Amino acid sequence: MKKGLFILFFALSSSVFGQNQVDFRSMLSVNVQKKINRRVSATCIVAEFQTYDFQELGFAFVDAGFKYKLSNSFGINANYRYFLKKNLDNFYVNHPMLYVDLDYSKGIKRLTIGATSRLQGFYYGKIIDGYRNPSYYSRNRLNLKYRLNYYWQPFTEVEIFIPLNNPKRQSLDQIRYNLGFCYTFNDYLKVEIFERIQQQMNRAPSNTYLLTAMNWYVRF
């Protein structure tokens, strides 16, 4: 299992460097979850995204929402995300995003299979040259996790982006591949570190990026 994950990563990495690699990127996030009762939890995420070989802030956001556990395998959450994002005119603007996730997770011995389907709306509002309509996407992610022991868990993920209201993009326009590991400190704290290959397609320009990410998770 572990050998297969690393072979997949190196194969995808080779594909990246054979294409139009623009810059290396990084992301750092802190995810906090507070359990309200047996089924409901409140969540908060703070994140920043560095671009141009880690030299410039591409965007940052604060995210808040609620998760509801439908069953042992299914859950749903609704969130509001507030972005500070650098635009093409080289200054930062604020944009909100709303999204709803439907999650599935199933454990088979040490292997966990998960899937997430997201509907999201990104709202631009007034911009320099007028008004820009909201951008709606369907995002679908599949992940595999393998628990070596209580502390270590390697994983791999693939996610596709499908635009819902862009007349110039009628099909899949982005795909992401993640490969990394999760380290659990205790029942309340864990960290994920992974590499992401992000491929844009069916758009101009269609670029490919390599991203290094660290996500901290705190729950209480």
Cis peptide before 163 (omega within 30 of 0): no
Non-local CB neighbours of 180 within 8 Å, separated by 6+ positions: 154, 155, 192, 193, 194, 195, 213
Say which residue the tokens 């591949």 belong to. Answer: 177
Domains located in the chain, CATH noted: 2-176+192-219 (2.40.160)
What pLDDT shows up at residue 14?
Answer: 47
Q: Rounded to an integer, what distance in angstroms lies between the CA atom of residue 52 and that of residue 56?
A: 6
Q: Rounded to an integer, what distance in angstroms lies between the CA atom of residue 147 and that of residue 182?
A: 9
Residue ranges in 136-178 assigned as alpha helix (H): none
What are the residues facing 193 on neighbouring strands? 181, 214
Q: Please work out, in degrees rounded to the nearest 5, the angle formed at the alpha carbon of residue 63 by the alpha carbons of 205 and 182.
A: 80
What average pLDDT does this structure show over 80-100?
Answer: 87
Q: Rounded to an integer, what distance in angstroms lies between the CA atom of residue 207 and that of residue 194?
A: 20
Question: For residue 214, which of 28, 25, 24 has the smallest C-alpha distance?
Answer: 28
Q: Which residue has the higher pLDDT, 138 or 10?
A: 138
Cis peptide before 167 (omega within 30 of 0): no
What are the residues facing 20 on neighbouring strands? none
Q: Rounded to an integer, what distance in angstroms lies between the CA atom of residue 84 and that of residue 194?
A: 24
> Which of the residue ranges 1-5, 46-50, 72-76, 181-185 would you say has the lowest mean pLDDT?
1-5
What average pLDDT does this structure show over 66-86?
Answer: 95
Say which residue the tokens 């609704």 belong to. Answer: 78
Asked if pLDDT for residue 16 goes beyond 50, the answer is no
pLDDT classification of 207: cutoffs 50, 70, 90: confident
Tokens matching residue 41:
């939890």
Q: Rounded to an integer, what distance in angstroms lies between the CA atom of residue 85 and that of residue 62?
A: 12
Q: Rounded to an integer, what distance in angstroms lies between the CA atom of residue 97 and that of residue 135?
A: 9
* Per-residue pLDDT tens over the stretch 147-203: 999 999 999 999 999 999 987 787 899 999 999 999 999 999 999 999 999 999 888
